[in-house]
Structure formats: structure tokens, C-alpha cells
């Protein structure tokens, strides 16, 4: 899977185009059985320092953000959007459908970025895709008015790193909104915009529904 064509062929061979449960306006290339795909990508993931093929299912945090964007298109209409940790590109696609002036999906997984482009095409929208670790980058280099971060609070060390950076991005004038299905390491003091009960993949979440909040990141953590 060294080339974009090889990655696209792999994705098509291991997924089907399916409607997103909580966002039926959007269809994604989705693994019908996560475990075989996980095994098939094991070596590739290890070589790239990754653990899970996050692009192969619509995670609860992303579904919540996509639903919120389509229900509140004024939040992104005419704005430059970055979808951080884009995975399948679900949130990026929702922003494009809602009228964002530009949309960039960012992920560290080359397979995810190929999935984003394939999914965008399947939904009749265009977006840019960047394979890079942008955490720590100056907000000005993001070229964004608003940044979405879906379901990124599941491990302690990365969550701490993300929080510090995202708060700095907010202080630079970029709005930051995250979707959180009650993960262990979501920061305190975020402003809740909405909440939904999201259908989930039982293979990964061990539950049929997850309460998921749409949260806005503020400039500073609350004082302890």
C-alpha cells in the first residue's frame, strides 16, 4: 500500500458504501466486520505507529459533530474548516455539504486520508487531505476559521497534548469544537453545545448507543 491507488484499492476491497446511522445524509465506505480489516492492516498500522484503523467506521464523536454541523450550517457556511483526526472524513464532508468555503481533512494515517477522498467523492463534495501531525503547529499555519476534533480524548497522554494545543489554537482566534462520547480524558470546562444518543459499532464500543456531547473548547482550563 505504498501508492494512493493501492490504498484506494485496499479500502474498496474491505468496505461497503453505507449510510451513516445518525447522519443519513452521508454515506461512507464502512467495514462490515471490523476485526478482519484490523488484522489486514496490522503491519501497515505498526509501520506508521498506529493502533486502530479509525477510518473504517463512523465513530460516535464524529457522528455527533456531523449531525450538529448539518443542523447548524450557519456555524461553518463561508468559513475555512479543518477536520483534525479526520478518520473517514465524516465531519469534513458534513462541513462541505453545509457550505464551508474550504475544508481540509488532517490525519496521520495515509489510509485515512485516502478514505476521506474516496468518501468525499461518494458524497459529491471536494476537500483537501493532509497526512501530517499538526499538533503544536501555529494556528496561522492551519489556515482555518474553525477546527473540529471528533473523538480524540480516549488516551491520557495524547489527550493532554491535544488539550494544550487546541486551547492555544482558540487563543489565536480559531473556534474549536469537539465531539465526545464520554471518553475518560476529555478536558474539564468545555462548553456544551448539544448532546445526542449515537448508534455505535458494538465490536468497538460494546454498546448500541453512546451519549455524545458536542463541546466547544475554551481558551483556558478552569481553576482547580
Domain presence at residue 44: yes
The residue to which cell 450557519 is assigned: 74
- 132, with CB counted inside 10 A (0-12, 13-18, 19+), is exposed
User: In this structure, what CATH number is given to the domain that contains residue 152?
Assistant: 3.40.50.150
What is the tens place of the pLDDT at every residue in 79-103?
999 999 999 999 999 999 999 999 9
pTM: 0.91
pLDDT at 46: 60
Instruction: Specify if 196 maps to a domain.
Output: yes
Q: Does an H or E element contain 193, and which?
A: strand 191-199
Which pLDDT does position 73 carry in this prediction?
98
Q: Answer yes or no: is 204 within a domain.
A: yes
Q: Does residue 221 sit within a domain?
A: no
DSSP 3-state of 81: strand
- Asked if residues 116 and 129 have their Cβ atoms less than 8 Å apart, the reply is yes
- Pair 178, 149: CB distance under 8 Å: yes
Strand partners, 80: 102
Q: What cell numbers appear for 73 in the block?
A: 450550517
In the predicted model, residues of the chain with pLDDT beneath 50 are none
The answer to whether residue 223 is domain-embedded is no
Q: Which of 98, 104, 97 is nearest to 76 (CA)?
A: 98
CA distance 193 to 203: 28
H or E element at residue 186: none
H-helix or E-strand spanning residue 32: none
Residue 79 lies in a domain: yes
Q: Distance between CA 11 and CA 111 in Å, rounded? A: 8
- In the chain, the number of structural domains is 1
What was the pLDDT predicted at 201? 72
The grid cell for 90 is 465524516
Distance of CA 64 to the CA centre of its chain: 10
Print the domain residue range for 83. Answer: 4-216
Q: What is the pLDDT of residue 223?
A: 63
- Give the separation between CA 164 and CA 218, rounded to whole angstroms: 11
Judge whether 106 and 86 are in contact, CB under 8 Å.
yes
| Cα distance between residue 124 and residue 137, in whole Å | 31
Does some domain include residue 224? no
222 domain residue, yes or no:
no
Amino acid at each position: 500500500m505504498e501508492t494512493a491507488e493501492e490504498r484506494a484499492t485496499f479500502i474498496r476491497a474491505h468496505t461497503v458504501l453505507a449510510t451513516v446511522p445518525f447522519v443519513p445524509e452521508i454515506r461512507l465506505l464502512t467495514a462490515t466486520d471490523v476485526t478482519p480489516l484490523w488484522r489486514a492492516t496490522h503491519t501497515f498500522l505498526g509501520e506508521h505507529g498506529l493502533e486502530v484503523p479509525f477510518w473504517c467506521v463512523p465513530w460516535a464523536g464524529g457522528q455527533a459533530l456531523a449531525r450538529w454541523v448539518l443542523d447548524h450550517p450557519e456555524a461553518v457556511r463561508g468559513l475555512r474548516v479543518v477536520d483534525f483526526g479526520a478518520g473517514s472524513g465524516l465531519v469534513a464532508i458534513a462541513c462541505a455539504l453545509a457550505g464551508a468555503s474550504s475544508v481540509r481533512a488532517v490525519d496521520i494515517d495515509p489510509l485515512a486520508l485516502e478514505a476521506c477522498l474516496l468518501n468525499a467523492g461518494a458524497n459529491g463534495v471536494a476537500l483537501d487531505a493532509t497526512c501530517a501531525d499538526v499538533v503544536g503547529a501555529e494556528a496561522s499555519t492551519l489556515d482555518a476559521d474553525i477546527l473540529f476534533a471528533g473523538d480524540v480524548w480516549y488516551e491520557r497522554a495524547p489527550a493532554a497534548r491535544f488539550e494544550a494545543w487546541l486551547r492555544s489554537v482558540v487563543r489565536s482566534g480559531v473556534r474549536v469544537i469537539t465531539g465526545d462520547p464520554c471518553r475518560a480524558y476529555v478536558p474539564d470546562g468545555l462548553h456544551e453545545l448539544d448532546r445526542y444518543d449515537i448508534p455505535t459499532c458494538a465490536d468497538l464500543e460494546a454498546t448500541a448507543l453512546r451519549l455524545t456531547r458536542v463541546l466547544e473548547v475554551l481558551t483556558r482550563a478552569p481553576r482547580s
